[in-house]
Amino acid sequence: MTPAYAQIIKSSARDDVDSVKIKADRFLFMGDEVFYIRRDTIIPIWDTTDYYIRKKDLDRSKVFYDSIETKMSRSKMSSMVYDALFVNPKDGKSGQYDDGMSEFRFLAYEDKVISPLKFKHINIFGSSFNDTTRNKVDKYTNLINKTHIHTQKWVIRSMLTFKEGDYINAQALVDSERLLRSRRFIRASRIMLNPVYGEDSVEVHVVTRDVFPFALAIRPNNGNGALVGLSNVNIAGLGHKLEYNYISDGGSEIYYDINNLFATYIDIGFDWSYHFRKQGFGVTGYRGFLTQNIRYAGGMELSKFIYGDYRYDPIADFTETFHFSVNRAMLWLGHAIPVDFRLGGLGFSNSTNFVVSAGLDMQDFYDKPFVSTDSNYIFQDRYNYLMQVGLSSRNYYKDKYVINYGRTEDIPSGAAVSLVVGFQRREFVDRFFVGGNYSRGGYIHGFGYLNSKFSLGAFLDGNHIEDGAFNANFDYFTSLQRVGSFRLRQFVDIAYSQAINPSEDIYIRGQNELGIRNVSGFYLKGTSKLNVKYEALMFTPFNVLSFRMAALIYGEATMVGNSVNDFFDTDVYAGVGVGLTFSNDNLAISTITMRLGYYPNLPLNANSSWYELSTNNRLSFRDFDLEGPELIEFR
């Protein structure tokens, strides 16, 4: 149901520009921006942009601007921003603002009470947030719409950070929209307010659109060598996920995930494996600091697995298999306390939490290769007792065409800094650990989005520093560039890791650790690693069977050095290629990617293929929350 104050203009699946006529004295809500239109005008708007028009209410608008002015007048810089972007309606002048954090559109109603709370599902195919009555489908997609079980209303309600009877809190509404979008079974969410005239309350409409829950994944990236995966990400509308993986060398792995157990924001996961790489069972639980207002978080794991691996002898050019067993018990708990701390130069805003967390991680190895005081450290039993204290400040802005067509993506901005201290009890030695992390990210005008993290930590054995690491990571993408009907975005990722006084050189295993896709089976050890990735993604206006097509070029290079083993020289490994992606955001597995690659230099004994076909889930970004304490290791 579209709120009474909203005038729907148009929604179209084509990638064109509409000329929208707007009468004077109206508010134009466009994407995450709001404009006050002083006189009759015509505005060009891309038809992939959500927008609607609302009549101006002078009293409410005055409250709206006064509320923003109050919030932004707390510092000189904020006051300057307000003066530059806003004109109060009482002055009779026009103004506009960039609602990058989205909460501004709710501020005018913060003195109102939520009553009642209403829910609406719109169809997976053929529907529009601009016009919730629209249903443009063919006979096949209409059948899917009719047979699909929508996410249960109580599941949607359990994800909200507000309830009936609460006063409108703009940040709570924005957080709820983001939390709903973060669920794998929901494509999009929007919260709309409909004033109840004559009363001090508003109707709150929570509108959601599911994804088609059944998915076939090609080479799912679960670290188990799976060829294909079958899944349902929203069983019976409960938000539960069941996934089956068929493993390339025989065997299976099954995952079952429960979303938001008993409305506690706790996610539970079960993992049953029976294949060469892993046999056994594990259960995990996780509750993160999903918003700045969540005060408690934690995580746990109980598992017992038998792992299979390969041992390569480079002298004899011979590979053999071996197994080892690991019992793991892990638990961490965290508490966040709001503090009035601002340090803009380091990225900390007026929404900052002081976070304390502590954790225990016990790993016992059985039926393992021979270990001694100076060999095979990775197979030694170890108990880690860690504590972390730090500051976390974060917010989110919305963007599109970062990796998906048209789907709203929540991009984190903010900063986090933490100190980690603890104690490790190993099979042959006990030692202390100390380390620190700093991360910061956000959109830089005229440059693009940059997300960075720096970590430094080491073990202390008496006066000796050992097995330490310094890690630096940079993730960057450009602003969206338009070339006619095409859109271009470029990505650069840089990761550097340096071991500090390592007890032995460190295995680099698999394509994720090497940083070059579609490469496996290699023999490589190192103590330093620099990985650089570049990708240019061109979103096209072309459709293939309802999948929107994008073209890409990519290059990946990793330089590995080894300061403790003369067998390995410093070398650079690389891969370059081109590809096509086909995206349909209505599906649980939204992107199919085909790549053709060339690898001029690879590690010893490496296997690679010049082509790759895979499916991808949603892109995730490194956030600025603090969670369980972890060792800082070479990676």
In a domain, 226, yes or no: no
Q: Could you tell me the two tokens for 72? A: 């932004």
37 versus 424: which is more confidently predicted?
424
pLDDT for res 223: 80
Decide: 469 and 632 in contact? Cβ < 8 Å. Answer: yes
- Whether 234 and 214 have beta carbons less than 8 Å apart is answered as no
Determine the structural domain holding residue 395 and report its residue range: 288-616
Rg, C-alpha atoms of the chain: 26
- Average pLDDT value over all residues in the chain: 84
Note whether 44 and 160 are same-domain residues: yes
Residues 309 and 186 in one domain: no
Q: What is the mean pLDDT of residues 261-289?
A: 97
Same domain for 338 and 190, yes or no, is no
- Angle (CA) 542 517 608, round 5°: 110
Q: Which residues pair with 489 in a beta bridge?
A: 537
Which is more confidently placed, 334 or 147?
334
3 state SS of 222: coil
pLDDT confidence of residue 277:
92
Could you tell me if 598 and 459 lie in one domain? yes
CA pair distance 332, 330, nearest whole angstrom: 7
**Nearest to 395, CA basis, from 353, 455, 336:** 353
Which CATH number characterizes residue 79's domain?
3.10.20.310
Question: Other CB atoms closer than 10 Å to residue 504's CB: what's the count?
Answer: 16
**Helix, strand, coil proportions of the chain in percent (round to 5)?**
10, 55, 35
Tokens representing residue 206 in the block: 């929570």
Last residue of a domain, one of 154, 188, 210: 210
Determine how many CB atoms are found less than 10 A away from the CB of residue 425: 13
Same domain? For 178 and 302 the reply is: no
Q: How far apart are CA 467 and CA 469, in angstroms?
A: 7
Contact 404, 424 (CB under 8 A): no
Residues 552-565 have pLDDT tens digits of 999 999 999 999 98
d(CA 186, CA 124): 10
**How many Cβ atoms are within 10 Å of 34's Cβ, its own excluded?**
18
Q: What is the mean pLDDT of residues 277-284?
A: 97
- Residue 74 in this model has a pLDDT that exceeds 70: no
Q: Which helix (DSSP H) or strand (DSSP E) does residue 171 occupy? A: helix 170-182
What DSSP character marks residue 588?
Answer: S
Same structural domain, 305 and 199 = no
Nearest to 610 by CA among 624, 600, 619: 600
With CA atoms as reference, report the closest residue to 195 among 105, 115, 120. 115
Domain assignment present for residue 623? The answer is: no
Residue 270: the pLDDT is: 98
Report DSSP letters for 136-151, one per residue.
---HHHHHHHHH--PP
Task: Check: CB of residue 582 under 8 Å from CB of residue 547.
Answer: yes
For the entire predicted model, the pTM comes to 0.82
Q: How many CA atoms lie within 13 A of 185 on its CB side?
A: 27
DSSP 3-state assignment of 454? strand
**Residue 633: phi, psi to the nearest 5?**
-125, 160
Judge whether 563 and 527 are in contact, CB under 8 Å: yes
Asked, for residue 563, whether it belongs to a domain, the answer is: yes
Q: How far is residue 277's CA from residue 417's CA, in Å, rounded to a whole number?
A: 36
Last residue of a domain, one of 210, 245, 265: 210
Burial pattern 129-156, b for ≥16 Cβ within 10 A else e, equals bbbbeeeebeeebeebbeebebbbbebb
CATH code assigned at 363: 2.40.160
| Tens of pLDDT, residues 569-618 | 899 999 999 999 998 888 887 788 999 999 999 999 988 889 999 887 65
Instruction: Please give the Cα distance from 482 to 488 (Å, whole number).
Output: 6
pLDDT tens per residue across span 99-154: 344 677 788 888 899 988 999 998 888 776 655 555 666 777 888 888 899 999 99
- 495 located within any domain: yes
Distance CA 286, CA 270 (A): 12
Calculate mean pLDDT across residues 202-217.
Answer: 92
Residue 187 backbone zone (phi > 0: left; psi -120 to 50: alpha; other: beta): alpha
Q: Which of 439, 438, 443 is nearest to 402 (CA)?
A: 443
26 in a structural domain = yes
Q: What backbone torsions phi and psi does residue 60 show, to the nearest 5 degrees? A: -65, -40
Does 92 score more than 80 pLDDT? no
Whole-angstrom distance, CA of residue 318 vs CA of residue 238? 50
Q: Per the domain annotation, does 245 fall within a domain?
A: no
Where residue 77 falls among pLDDT bands split at 50, 70, 90?
Answer: very low
Q: Residue 59 has what DSSP assignment?
A: H
Q: Is pLDDT of 26 > 90?
A: no
How many domains does the chain fold into? 2
pLDDT digits (tens, 9 = 90+) for 458-494: 999 888 999 999 999 999 999 989 888 899 999 999 9
| Closest of 529, 532, 592, 590 to residue 563, by C-alpha | 529
pLDDT of residue 49: 61
Average of per-residue pLDDT across 539-558: 91
Are 206 and 294 within one domain?
no
Write down the pLDDT at residue 54. 65
Domain-located, residue 548: yes
Query: Do residue 456 and residue 316 come from a single domain?
Result: yes
pLDDT for residue 575: 96
116 preceded by a cis bond (ω within 30 of 0): yes
* pLDDT score recorded for residue 93: 36
What pLDDT shows up at residue 89? 37
Report the range of poorest mean pLDDT among 37-41, 510-514, 534-538, 544-548: 37-41
pLDDT in tens, 406-453: 677 889 999 999 999 999 999 999 999 999 999 999 999 889 999 999
- Of the ranges 49-53, 265-269, 305-309, 445-449, which one carries the lowest mean pLDDT score? 49-53
Whether residues 201 and 319 fall in one domain: no
Whether residue 479 lies inside any domain: the answer is yes
Cβ atoms of residues 2 and 54 within 8 Å: no
Q: DSSP letter for 563, please.
A: S
Residue % of the chain over a pLDDT of 90: 55
